[in-house]
Amino acid sequence: MSKLLVALIAASFATVAGAQAGATKQEKQGTVQSVTQEAAKSTTAQGEAADVAKAKQEKGTAKALPDKAAKQAATASTTKAQAEGGASAQSQAADVAKAKSEKGTPKAAKPDLKDPAVQKQMQKAATQ
């Protein structure tokens, strides 16, 4: 039984040690070269040239709102939608007036629970 346990422990140790061995030297070199090439493209003149070419292609495209009339129409429609869907100045003013009118109203008085008369009333109410 003890020999079996020793054999199982040795086998698991060998498996873990083999898994930790890692990649070969050639695989590591390939990984380093590919990462270096990607970094060089993003920071060197080649990478910048690609970005410049992309910007030149997009330069001739038409704008979303080409003239002043289109911009005014878009602004008007957005303003109208906000006025209909959102809170307007009139509704906000009404809410403020309502809050101010309710501000001075007193709250209901809380019972004094330490008072013996109140305690008796609470007991009666609970038993009924």
C-alpha torsion 51→54→56→57, nearest 10 = 180
C-alpha torsion 100→101→103→106, nearest 10 = 170
Q: Which token pair is 52?
A: 């410049």
Which pTM does this prediction carry? 0.23
Per-residue pLDDT of the chain (128 residues; tens, 9 = 90+): 778 778 878 888 777 766 666 667 787 788 888 878 777 666 666 667 777 788 877 777 767 777 888 888 888 887 777 766 655 677 778 888 888 777 777 777 788 888 889 889 888 888 88
Q: Which token pair is 60?
A: 């001739």
